[in-house]
Amino acid sequence: MKQWLKLVKYKKLLLFTVILLIMGLFFGAVYYFRQNDVVKQTLINSILELPNNLVNNRINNILIHLIIGIAVIVLSFTVISVPIIFFYIFFEGISIGFSFALIINAFGFKGIFFFLIYSLLYKFIYLVLITYLVIRAIRITKNVIGFIIYRKSTDLEKNIIINIRKVVIILILIFFYDIVIFFVSPTLNKLLINFL
């Protein structure tokens, strides 16, 4: 709990991340609605199979989330990490916005409840964890840049080790979250289909 309270001092970074995500949501929805009618109809036809696909499949994001987490850690030691990480957050917003517009167009009002609950279970928790991971990665980047440019060695090694520990804990939480989702997703998906 104490760690989450410390996030208050990163409120500008959090605000910027949330704004990026919201902009991505908006651009994703606009991108969907700017598609021509043939593309929209093709997408709607494919999404109508969603209830059958959800019942028969598990949600397995373990590998991709692990790769993204490791990439964020590796990139945190480079100067180019911050724009790439922010682009990923923006891209997640575009993906969610596009999906939201598609599901509403395909399923109507029922799709709103489905999508909100689906996103809360399968995206929101991950995005909260990845946002915290991004904040930790930016702290590492800031320490490395401070050392390279200003030769500020104010406990660089200690700060990096502390931040890497926190990053590893976040990666473990993401991995645990993905394992839980993998095993409970068939049951959750059957419940979610009732909203469609």
CA angle 16, 18, 19 (to 5 degrees): 65
Residues of the chain above pLDDT 70, percent = 93
pLDDT digits (tens, 9 = 90+) for 72-106: 878 777 767 778 888 888 999 999 999 999 999 98
Nearest residue to 144 (alpha-carbon basis) of 87, 82, 89 = 82
pLDDT at 154: 62
List all residues 6 or more positions away from 68 whose beta carbon is below 8 Å from its beta carbon. Answer: 88, 130
Nearest residue to 79 (alpha-carbon basis) of 17, 11, 149, 19 = 149
- Top pLDDT among 81 and 161 is at 161
* Other C-beta atoms lying within 10 Å of the C-beta of residue 192: 21
pLDDT at 27: 96
Highest mean pLDDT range out of 21-25, 118-122, 149-153?
21-25
Please report, to the nearest 10 degrees, the dihedral formed by the alpha carbons of residues 195, 64, 45, 36 taken in order: 120
Label residue 38 by pLDDT band (50, 70, 90).
very high
Please report, to the nearest 10 degrees, the dihedral formed by the alpha carbons of residues 49, 119, 189, 113 taken in order: -80
Model confidence at 53: pLDDT above 60: yes
Cβ(98)–Cβ(30) below 8 Å: no
Residue 116, both tokens:
């909100």
Cβ(101)–Cβ(32) below 8 Å: yes
pTM > 0.95: no
- Give dist(CA 98, CA 27) in Å, integer: 8
| Average pLDDT of the residues of the chain | 83
Q: Which amino acid is located at 173 in the chain?
A: L
Stretch 6-30: mean pLDDT: 84
